[in-house]
Chain A
Amino acid sequence: MSRVFGRALAVLPAELGGSAPGPLHTLLSALASASSRQEEESLVRKELSIIHQQLNTANFNPDVASECLVRLIYCATLGYPIGFCTIHALTLAQRGSSWHKRLGYLACCLLLHENHELLLLLVNTLMKDLQSGGPLEMGMALMVAGQLTPPHAVSSIMPIVIDKLAHSREFVRQKAVAALTFLTFRSCSDKSLDNENSDNCHPSNSYQRDVFLRAFGDRDPSVMAASLPALLHLAKRDPDWCRTLVPALVGVLRQVIEGRLHGDFSFHGVPSPWLQIDLLRLFSLLGKGDHGTSQQIYEVLGECMERARSKQMSAWAVLSECIRTLSVLPPHLELWTRASDFVGEMLQSSNANLQYMGVRCLADMARVEPGTVLCHRPSVMCALEQPDPAIRRRTLELLCRVVGQENVEAVCGHLLSALRDTQDPYEARSLASRTLDLAYRFSPNSEWLVGIVTEVLSMREEIIPPDEPGRFLWLLVKEEEESAESLKFHALQALMASSTAISSRTSQPLLRAITWVLGEISHVQPDLSPADISSRLSRILVPPASRQGSHARASSLSIPIETQAWLLTGLSKVLSRQANELGNASLITEQIREESKDGGQDVEMTREAGGGGEGGSFARKDTDHFLEKAEIFSKVDDQIKNMNASQKNQTSSSPEVIEIKVNGSQAGLSSEECNESGMGERVDIMGTSDVDQDKVCLDKYETEAGKSEISKEDSGTRQIKLPLPTLDLLSDDPCIQQLIDELRRLWASPSLFATVLPASPGCQTPLVDPSLPFLDGFVAEAMRKGAAPYIPPQLRQLDKQGSSYDAREIQVSGAFSESVGHGTSPTSTAGNSWAQEAGSDASADVPQPATRVWGPEGRTRCPSPARPTATTSLPTPLSGSESGSRPSSVLGAVSHEESREREKDEEIQEGRKKLAAALFAGVGNIQEHGSLSRTNRDLSPASESTKDVSSHTALALSTEEFGKLWTSAIHETRFAVSPPDAPGLPNHLPVAPGKAWLLDFAIQALSAVGFHNVATAGQELLFAAQDTKTGAPLLLHCIVLLTGDIQLCARAKAPRLVQPMALSVQRALSSPPWPALNQKS
């Protein structure tokens, strides 16, 4: 602390008349003279131990106790833990006389929180004081009751508080109303309360209403003012009932602004601003979308605005609240122009706070009428250049509200530059998602959109919205066009460019997007050869610099496992294309020769890697393997010879590969001498029964399916050039290893590869029977030999993990379903009978879009099974209007000519104008075409992408069955969703007159994600679905509130099921497009 401060402290006792300094004073002076943080800490610790001693040893003496508590509070303010003294605060509140009691209560309020276990002891004291104390004690107790009542004591304290509403002293009544408001509305939103209790204190209960109404009609204005927060809460829940109060409220506001309250209530000449603002907020809630009510409000609102014209800040506060209320009510032309004038005044003020408020009010007005912004263009431009980041940010939000197709480029440019500048991760996250939302909705052409998305994706990883890059890729999938102007083409171009500059700092979402695009849609650009792409991908997987070094393992491990899986699936897609091309074309010897040369190079490389000691025995084995084949191929001259050679080769190499596979753990053991720890883990993983079993299944299929095909194959050729690193170079994760192994084997026989993963886009979706009946005999035999029974992945770690979702678990299950997809298709030609529906069921199986790209259907065109209806609704923003003249550029050209003759200052002005023109282009005419053109776009990818996360299907139930299931399912989660405002539709349109419309929306949105609507009763909806994996029922209870919020309660028998369900429901209900709304409008 500063020296000046210390000196000031030293002088103080003298000023106080030389009285002996108290203990608090001593403590403060000691702390002031402490030179370092450590010294301060030791002082405080010493003090705390002294206090502890004093409090514990002495008989209860209120003076000593309160003195100690004061010091304790000070220590707590400094940030030291003082848990031991809370009990003394309670004692003092209980046993002290009024002054000490007050201090005790204060200490309780500061040191306890409402869920503290010691609060039980406080409740008794509170009740005693409330019932028998004098008015002051009552006041104190009410104050504390309003802050600290534990949830379970609400029902016992509430009646006493209600009694206090009839007390003779108004300050008691006032505090009672405030405490009651807090108790009622806090406890009802409190989730920990059981149903019974929350019914008791439900505010729609007429008794509660009467209580607050009585308080509102109190003869004392301060009590009336205290009841307004409660009315605000009530109005949110039940506006219809509250509308009957509007005439009374208008009367009150009129009296207030006419200055008929006592001077006590005015604040710097403004009559009771707090009361006014509470009333205005009530009006905005009640008048929203209600013409009748609004008619009653307009007049007094106008008066209020007129009288609030003063230089006082509180007057501006009232004025801004008036404007905000006005922007919610149905528009009133005269008031609107006046409000617009006031906003202009605020924006031009030199006071930063007023500017801030002006921008905020303008944003509210722009939501209704974007044209308003045009009048204040210069001021908004100034605000955009303000040094204050808070104002700049608000201005950006304002701009987001007026975005249309014409100015989206300029606005997004600003958002991006703000995104680059900001340091705050919260702000960056919201900016990033906002930019992407706007870009998706209004993108003028696909090249620009791709640019924006890649730019955002290349930012820091933590700010990228969690649904990226899935949302972008989904957009790519749904586009059918494949011309040079298509989104796919541009995406490929952009991501190819960024794939050349990949470093360890590249964000994972960008890396995944690159992988997916290269793997899935590289065929859009015909001059890109699959070989080129596969080498690019493998370079990402294992950077070339590290291939030979001893750090290879470490560097490839720096890529997270999930991304590794993306890379490998991408690689397998490209390789399948390669395999297909090669399989179709007759094999030309030239090519083979070339490849064998390449193979030789690869062998060199592998040898080096092996020589570096990294690969261990495994790599050396591979090297030998390659060498052997390289020798063979250097000899072959024609195709026949090649066939023979490969057959010979195959017979020799095939068992070896399997041997390597089976002895994987041994190889790991032997190379453990070179690597330290990771290998040990791998051995453990390989040792567990389930992994083994997966692999055994796979081996079985491969040997069976392989035998028939491989003999006819020219297999060995491609194995040389398989651009994969050795197993040991990659992760320990069994899932990754399995992927590599599968790829390796498929690569060994291109025709098998081509059958498993057909390249033609229009290929049929193979049918998959998830129960794998052809393996039954094999499994039975294995079990007889003592293998452990197979446990589904989702049940394996259930007891360990609880309800949390484990990433590895998902991957294992995803990979397993992939292997199923790969494995079953060749045998399906052998005439096994399959259930027709099985394919579609299994396709909804994988819970994450990440693993879904390579779905069980083989090489799918879409990352998720598109419903027939979904594919037809292509989002319109992609059909870019390249030819449409862009106003910004035209204006830019004009202004450039003018500025030649002028001074530099004016050039800057012109630049600003240009910018303004770009920013506000098309704002004015949004009104005419706004609602229509926007609603066309409303089927944005967000709503579609919600479909691919659902891991459940509809379950038809009767209401009785639902009831039974509901009571038997015990795990539940409660949450509320407030659907966003409909885009493109001004708030004032009477779109939500009744709840029926909201109900329609909820039903539509939820049945789109696979919920069956069991019953609809009033505002309540019941939904049911079943988990696709286990068939367990998922139940959903949904209440549509009049405020536009939707309250939900999701239940299932297992806690694991509840969270994903809640997530998908939440997404479905809160995604911006409102299909139901579009139909209405």
Chain B
Amino acid sequence: MLLFSRQGCIRLQKWFVAAGERERRQTRRELLTTVLARAPRSSSCLQWRDLRIIYKRYASLYFCCAIEEGDNELLTLELIHRYVELLDQYFGSVCELDIIFNFEKAYFILDELLLGGEVQETSKRVVLCAVQEADDLQVVSWFFDKLSHDTAKPFGITHDVLGTLFPFPGRRSHIGSLGSELLLMKSRNTLVRPCS
């Protein structure tokens, strides 16, 4: 998966196959030139070596995926669209600058969406929950650090006190996942079961 701007600057890249640095650089260069040279109203698929490249342009950003022979082109387009929707919802009407400044967030979202090259989680809400959860974690851990170092002591707040505030005692990393856990428990139903 490759994201690049109209000027040909790479914004984000994710490789699901092992490739050396030189190979990557060459692939990037070739893809940039082929995709940027395409006529505006042509289809989103093109053959590149033995892979097919699916790309889509959103404003000034090109999203680019390479797929193998057996994969479905239209579905890959939809995957790109889903990723853009996720970014949009996460950043609130996303623009290229958001991705430049918070590219690690963009990576995290992509990681939730795809795992090892396979589509992992397609539900928009679940992905966003997972990312949000991690963000909460950052805040909470920062809070904890602050507490344990200086501010907490004068106020007499200790880990134990904090623990009672949250229903999951024990390891503090559990705390961050609380919100989404509740959400998930409420909404997920388990209808599909193989009738074997």
Q: A97 CA to B144 CA in the complex, in Å?
A: 11
CB interface residues, A 404-458, toward B, < 8 Å: 426-427
Instruction: Tell me whether A316 is interfacial, beta carbon within 8 Å.
Output: yes
Central interface residue in A28, A77, A316, by most chain B CB within 10 Å? A77
A662 close to B (CB within 8 Å): no
Q: Contacting A77 at CB < 8 Å: which of B103, B130, B174?
A: B103
A481 interface hit (Cβ, 8 Å): no
Q: Mark A18-41, 1 if CB is under 8 A from B, else 0.
A: 000000110010000000000000
CB pair A388–B11 under 8 Å, yes or no, is no
Q: When the two chains form their complex, are residues A262 and B171 in contact, meaning their CB atoms are under 8 A apart? A: no
B7 at the interface (CB under 8 A from A): yes
Q: How far is the CB of B30 from the nearest CB of chain A, in Å?
A: 10
A313 adjacent to B77 (CB under 8 Å): yes
CA A147 to CA B18, docked complex, whole Å:
10
B164 in the interface (beta carbon within 8 A):
no
Instruction: Say if the beta carbon of A260 comes within 8 Å of chain B.
Output: yes
Q: Verify A267–B195 contact, CB threshold 8 A.
A: no
Q: Is A224 an interface residue (CB 8 A)?
A: yes
A391 to B43, Cβ gap below 8 A? yes
Q: Does A171 contact B (CB under 8 A)?
A: yes
User: Given the complex, which residues of A lie within 8 Å of B130, measured CB to CB?
Assistant: 139, 171
> Do B42 and A390 touch across chains, with their CB atoms under 8 A apart?
yes
Bound: A211/B65 CA distance, A: 31
B42: chain A residues within 8 A (beta carbon): 352, 387-391
Q: Is B177 an interface position by the 8 A CB rule?
A: yes
B103:A99 contact, CB within 8 angstroms: no
Please determine whether A220 and B190 come into contact, CB atoms closer than 8 angstroms.
Answer: yes
Asked if A281 is an interface residue, CB under 8 A from chain B, the answer is yes
Whether the Cβ atoms of B97 and A8 lie closer than 8 Å is yes
Residues of B within 8 A of A70 (CB): 104
Interface string of A208-228 (1 = CB under 8 A from B): 000000001101111010100
Assembled-state Cα–Cα distance A393/B25 (Å): 27
Q: Complex Cα distance A9/B189, Å?
A: 45
Tell me which residues from 106 to 133 in chain B have a Cβ below 8 Å from any Cβ of chain A.
107-108, 111, 115-116, 118-126, 130, 133
**Is A175 among interface residues, defined by CB-CB distance under 8 A?**
yes
Minimum CB–CB distance for B111 against chain A, Å? 6
The A interface, classified by DSSP as helix, strand, loop or mixed, is helix
Q: Chain A residues near B50 (CB, 8 Å)?
A: 426
Q: How near does chain B come to A42, taking the closest CB pair, in angstroms?
A: 18
Contact B18 A255 (CB under 8 A): no
B189 near A262 (CB under 8 angstroms)?
yes
Chain A: minimal CB distance from B148 (Å): 12
Residue of A78, A174, A248, A273 contacting most chain B CB atoms (<10 Å): A273
What residues on A are CB-neighbors of B7 within 8 Å?
Answer: 1-2
Check B196 against A182 for contact (C-beta < 8 Å): no
Q: Which residues of A contact B184 (CB under 8 A)?
A: 170-171
A718-746 CB contacts (< 8 Å) to partner B: none
- Give the distance in Å from the alpha carbon of A28 to the alpha carbon of B9 in the complex: 13
Residues of A within 8 A of B93 (CB): none
B88 at the interface (CB under 8 A from A): no
Contact string, B12-49, partner A, CB cutoff 8 A, digits 1/0?
11111011110001001000000000010111111111
Closest to B170 in A: A134
Q: Which of A74-104 contact B (CB under 8 A)?
A: 74, 77-79, 81, 97-99, 102-103
Asked if A274 CB lies within 8 Å of chain B CBs, one says: yes
Q: Are B190 and A221 in contact (CB under 8 A)?
A: yes
Knowing A220-B188, A390-B43, the reply to whether A143 touches B111 (Cβ < 8 A) is: yes
Asked if A247 CB lies within 8 Å of chain B CBs, one says yes
A321 at the B interface (CB under 8 A): yes
Q: Is the CB of B194 within 8 A of A317?
A: no
- Contact yes or no, B74 A317, CB < 8 A: yes
Are the C-beta atoms of B45 and A102 separated by less than 8 Å?
Answer: no
- A178: which B residues are within 8 A, CB to CB? 115-116, 118, 120
Contact of B45 among A226, A249, A277, A390 (CB under 8 A): A390
CA distance A390 to B73 in the complex (A): 13
Answer yes or no: A191 CB below 8 A from chain B CBs.
no
Task: Report yes or no: A356 in contact with B45, Cβ–Cβ below 8 A.
Answer: yes
Residue of A nearest to B12 (CB): A77
* Chain A residues, Cβ within 8 Å of B190: 219-221
Given the complex of chains A and B, what is the CA–CA distance between A169 and B126 in angstroms? 13
Residues of the B chain whose Cβ atoms lie less than 8 Å from the Cβ of A1014: none
Residue of B nearest to A115 (CB): B18
Give the number of residue pairs across the A-B interface with Cβ within 8 Å.
Answer: 216
* Interchain nearest-CB distance for A664 vs B (Å): 45
Q: Which of B75, B81, B187 contacts A264 (CB 8 A)?
A: B187
Q: Which residue of chain A has the shortest Cβ distance to B121 in the bound complex?
A: A222
Q: In the complex where A136-B177, A175-B120, A256-B192 touch, is A267 in contact with B82 (Cβ < 8 A)?
A: yes
* CB pair A264 B43 closer than 8 Å: no
Pairwise interchain contact A24-B101, C-beta atoms closer than 8 A: yes
Contact yes or no, B115 A179, CB < 8 A: yes
- Which chain B residues lie closer than 8 Å to A261 at the CB level? 191-192
Give every chain B residue within 8 A of A9 (Cβ-Cβ): 97
Q: Is the CB of B115 within 8 A of A146?
A: yes
Interface residues of A in 261-319 (CB under 8 A from B): 261-262, 264-265, 267, 272-274, 277, 281, 313-314, 316-317
Contact with A along B174-185 (1 / 0, CB 8 A): 101100010010
Chain B residues contacting A73 (CB-CB under 8 Å) are: 103-104
Bound: A632/B72 CA distance, A: 82
Quick one: closest B residue to A171, CB to CB? B130
Q: With A217-B194, A261-B191 known to touch, is A99 a contact of B141 (CB < 8 Å)? A: yes
Q: Contacts A25-B101, A182-B116, A387-B39: A353 and B44 contacting too (C-beta < 8 A)?
A: yes
**Is B73 a contact partner of A356 (Cβ separation < 8 A)?**
yes
B10 within 8 A of A: yes
B193: CB under 8 A from chain A?
Answer: yes
Residue in contact with B176 in the complex, picked from A28, A136, A171, CB distance below 8 Å:
A136
Cβ of B124: which chain A residues have Cβ within 8 Å of it? 264
Q: Is B94 interfacial (CB 8 A cutoff)? A: no
Does A264 lie within 8 Å of B176, measured CB to CB?
no
Please tell me if A161 contacts chain B, counting CB pairs below 8 Å.
no
Question: Could you tell me if B101 and A314 are in contact, using CB atoms closer than 8 angstroms?
Answer: no
Residues of A within 8 A of B120 (CB): 174-175, 178, 226
In the complex, A427→B50 CA distance in Å? 9
Which residues on the B side are within 8 Å of A222 (C-beta)? 121, 123, 126
Do A217 and B196 contact each other (CB < 8 Å), given the known contacts A70-B104, A106-B107, A272-B122?
yes
Whether A248 and B78, one on each chain, are in contact in the complex, defined by CB atoms closer than 8 angstroms, is no
| CA of A24 to CA of B124, assembled, Å | 29
> Which among A179, A229, A262, A426 is the interface contact of B191 at CB below 8 angstroms?
A262
A120 at the interface (CB under 8 A from B): no
In the bound complex, CA of A135 to CA of B124 (Å): 20
Minimum CB–CB distance from A175 to chain B (whole Å) comes to 7
Instruction: Determine the distance from Cα of A314 to Cα of B81 in the docked complex, in whole angstroms.
Output: 10
A353 touches B115 (CB 8 A): no
Cβ-defined contact, A393 with B173, below 8 A: no
Do A313 and B78 have beta carbons less than 8 Å apart? Answer: yes
Q: Are B193 and A267 in contact (CB under 8 A)?
A: no
Contacting residues, chain A, for B18 (C-beta < 8 A): 113-115
Enumerate A106-151 residues with CB–CB distance to B below 8 Å. 106, 109-110, 113-115, 133-137, 139, 143, 146-147
CB distance from B158 to the nearest CB of A (A): 18
Q: How far is the CB of A675 from chain B (nearest CB, A)?
A: 39
Measured CB to CB, the closest approach of chain B to A241, in angstroms, equals: 14
* Residue from B21, B174, B188 within 8 A of A262 (CB atoms): B188
Q: How far is the CA of A931 from the CA of B18 in the complex (A)?
A: 43
CB-defined A-B contacts under 8 Å, sample of 7: A28-B101, A78-B10, A139-B130, A174-B120, A262-B187, A262-B191, A264-B188
> Given known contacts A133-B173, A262-B189, A264-B126, what 9 new A-B pairs fall within 8 Å (CB)?
A77-B13, A182-B116, A248-B195, A248-B196, A255-B192, A262-B191, A272-B122, A313-B81, A356-B43
B residues in contact (CB < 8 Å) with A: 7, 9-16, 18-21, 25, 28, 39, 41-50, 70, 72-75, 77-78, 81-82, 97, 100-101, 103-104, 107-108, 111, 115-116, 118-126, 130, 133-134, 137-138, 141, 171, 173-174, 176-177, 181, 184, 187-196
